[in-house]
Amino acid sequence: MRSIFKRKSLFPVGVLLFLLLIVACAKAPITNRTQFIILPQAFEMQLGASAYLSMLETEKVSPNKHYARVVTRVGQRIAAVSHTPNLRWRYTVFDDDRQVNAFALPGGKIGVYTGMMPVAKTDAGLATVMAHEVAHATARHGGERISLGLLLEMGSAALASAMRKKDEKTTSRVLAAYGVGSTLMVALPFSRKQEAEADRIGLIYMAKAGYDPREAIPFWERMGAAGGGSPPEFLSTHPGYRTRIKNLRRWMPEAMEYYENSEKAPNNRIVIAEKSRR
């Protein structure tokens, strides 16, 4: 009776997961990687919009109008050639010179910190950043990360349930090991894979938008120089700069084909020329 009960109790869960796999499978643009996304895109976009409004309340928006114009100009040009030009794209520059960073929220909300501008230097450098973030939004990487997190939580809950008759100390150790293992073996490698994918998709997008994709390599070299010390790659959410540049060189021939057939954009216009103008 016990084994029969277990089979009956597990059967609906197995069916549910199978149905989720059927419903949630998607394909990433350019790479055609199969994705597992549980959240409906409408809900995903709602989460992104809510997070964006929260950031507008807690972060200072830069008063630099030149920055706002150039980020919007480059972002719009790249989004127009992406696979999702009709998302509700919005581009915001946040005032923090110490943050050499940018981000994408589900649904097309892109943020760039002022600390990124001296590293970007030119339109093409900024296009590298913007295309990478547009790629994250277009490929629904945010929803994919949430889906993975839910699966890992389900695994933790199932493990805790299976060990409910064990002593507390043993259970605690096993769950801690699961947490470390799932982070090192699943979550971090998956994050690095997404980042590499955004690099590749972004390289194609910037090329299609008319920005010279070869400028992506000196940009990442500047990022590496600005980043200082970094953890070992296997402990990081992002590929190392050497790995990124090696990948970009490998993908460059494909990107150059798009660039040669594009309507050329200004590549080397200096984006920080008016930094002091407020």
The catalytic residues are: 133
| Cα(99)–Cα(249) distance, integer angstroms | 27
Pairing of strands 102-105, 34-36: unpaired
Structure tokens at 16: 């549910």
Q: Is the dihedral of CA 149, 191, 133, 31 positive or negative?
A: negative
State the CB neighbour count (10 A cutoff) for residue 25.
11
Q: What is the DSSP string of 95-143?
A: --TT---EEEETTTEEEEEGGGHHHH-BHHHHHHHHHHHHHHHHTTHHH
239 Cβ contact list (under 8 Å, min separation 6): 192, 195, 196, 199, 233, 247
Q: How far is CA 40 from CA 23, 50, 62, 104, 137, in A?
A: 10, 16, 33, 18, 14
Q: How far is CA 109 from CA 27, 45, 217, in A?
A: 21, 9, 25
268 φ, ψ (degrees, to nearest 5): -110, 20
